[in-house]
Structure formats: structure tokens, C-alpha cells
Amino acid sequence: MKKKYLVTGGAGFIGSHLTEKLLREGNKVTIIDDLSTGNLKNLEEYKGDENLEIVIDSILNDSLMKKLISETDEVFHLASSVGVELIMKNPIHTIENIFMGTAVVFKHASKYRKKVLLTSTSEVYGKSLDVPFREDGDRVEGPTTINRWAYANAKSLDEFLALAYFQTSKLPVVIVRLFNTVGPRQSGDYGMVIPKMINAGLKNKNIQVYGDGLQTRCFCHVKDVINALCSLMKTKDSFGEVINVGSDNEISMFKLAELVSQSLNNNSKISIIPYEEVYPNGGFEDMKRRVPSIDKIDNLINWKPTILLEEIVKDVIKYQKSQSK
């Protein structure tokens, strides 16, 4: 049976891909996005589609959210501040937009008994060295004097709130901790590393690697991620659970820069930039490794990433070249 979905942050990178998938499956979709980081160009292909409603507003608009949630079947709550650079520059907006917005979503979802999938983040694991990160593992956060941790703690509060609604009223809630998600439409403007590296290389600028370049991350294609989100939303055993979604294929930032340079095939040079130069006012700490355990999601929905990192990089290069024409 076809459904009506509300996607908060639906004009964003992940939100727009999710919206497309839901529309392709014949569903009706309403998106709400304040366009602070989203872009309506991401949904250009569906402009005028009778099954798509676009609302340009903030999820902090309580009366509007009440109306939208009451009229929908299920909610994908993706709206959030994104990117380390944006979060470092505007911690107040980060905290208010994330937690207060999520409080509005759950207040009305609870009243109208609507299923909610909440996207959280691997940032909540903080500086933990217990790799791979398991959903029931301890979190190790930095001090409140370091702006970097504002995002992680705001998203942690989101998770606590969602779980509280599940535990007290059995509201069907799914919490996913997204690890680094990459693909077409992702902007490098907010510190997203792969599109930023590719953008620099395409402009024949040095590909910059922050810190010592030894820190590692795992990258998953957005197509794999949205397939996971949709499957988890349909799986009752995922209600009231926190679930990692991401690749467990680990690579250092320096090796990633080398891969981007090789994929561009234009002899892009790599430069190492100390964090002190990138963030001269301080307030930044990095995680040396960020690797998920994906045993839980594999057990729940038999999911593993299917798209290799080399293909992801080529896909983003192809997209960025198409946008520069």
C-alpha cells in the first residue's frame, strides 16, 4: 500500500535522494526544508510532480509541523545542522536547530501516533577508542569548551528523547547513526571531505588534508544508505533501537587524497594543513578512527554496503563535472 511521508530536510543531500526513492515507489511525499544547507535544485527532476509537496520553512514552526505530521503516515526526520565547518562557525544554531527541532517533531508524532525514523550521527561516539563502534558501547565526549562536541551532544539528546518516547508511550521510533555518507549533490562547502577534495582537484588546486592525515574514516554511498533507512522503517524489530548505518571499509585521509588524485588523473598535489591553521581560534578536536560495527543492521535487515569507495569517488567526480558545464 502506498503511503504519505514527511521528510524533514528533504531538499538536502541525503533527504533529496530519499525523497526521490519514495516518489519512484509511487508514494506521496511532503518535504520541509529551510534551505540553510538544502537546495531545491536537488529535486529539480520532480518539480511539478503531483505527489511531491515542498514546504520552505523551519521545523521550529510548531503549528506548521503539527499540521504536516497530522496529515502524514510516517516521518523521516533528517533536518539538522551538517558539516564540521558549519558547526564550528555557528554552535548556537547547531544546538537550537537540532534539539529544539527534534522536540517539535516528537511532540506531534506522539500525539498523532506517527512512526518516526531519526537520523543521528557517528559523532556521538566521540573520542572512544573502542573500535569498531558498537551501538551499546560507551561514548567518550570532549569538554564543553570545545565547540566540536556541541553537535555530538545535541544529537545524543535527540536519541535520548526518541528513546524516551518509545519507552514511555511505545511510539514506533527508529534511530540510525549515520557514518560518513557520500554521493552526488553533497556539497564541500560545510567541510564534507570527499566533495571538497574533488572540487579542489578539478580546479587544479592542492588537495588539502587536515591534521597529520593518519586519521581514518569509512565512506558509504548515499544509495546504500537510503536503502537501509527505508528497510529499517519497515522492520518492526528496529523500533526502539539504535542502529549504525555505514561502511566498515577504513581509509586514512592521506590515502583518500591519493585516491582522489589518482581518480582525477590530473597530477593533483596533496598538502598537509595543521589543524591550528584551519581553526586558528581553537575549539576543535578530531577522532583518530571512526569505524562502525554493522553486525546489528546486518542481523536486522541483511544489509551491507554494495558500492566500493573507488566507485563512490568516481560518481562524485562525474557529478561535479556535470555541474560545472
Q: What is the pLDDT of residue 151?
A: 87
Q: How many separate helices (H) and strands (E) can be counted in the chain? A: 12, 13
Q: What is the pLDDT of residue 187?
A: 84
Q: What is the pLDDT of residue 247?
A: 98
Q: Identify the architecture of domain 4-182+220-248+290-305 in CATH.
A: 3-Layer(aba) Sandwich (3.40)
Nearest-angstrom CA–CA distance, 106 and 97 = 14
Q: What is the pLDDT of residue 83?
A: 64
Q: What is the pLDDT of residue 46?
A: 95
Catalytic site residue 275? no
Q: What is the pLDDT of residue 1?
A: 79
Q: Of 46, 112, 125, 151, which residue is the catalytic one?
A: 151
Q: What is the pLDDT of residue 81?
A: 77
Nearest-angstrom CA–CA distance, 100 and 6 = 18
| Nearest-5° Cα angle at 32, 236 to 169 | 35
Burial per residue of 82-115, b for 16 or more beta-carbon CB atoms within 10 angstroms, e otherwise: bbbbbbbebbeebbebbbebbbbbbebbbeeebb
Q: 77 with 32: CB under 8 angstroms?
A: no
Spell out, as residue ranges, where the chain has pLDDT lower than 50: none
Position 242: which residue type? V
- CA-to-CA dists, residue 270 to 179, 204, 262, angstroms: 25, 11, 11
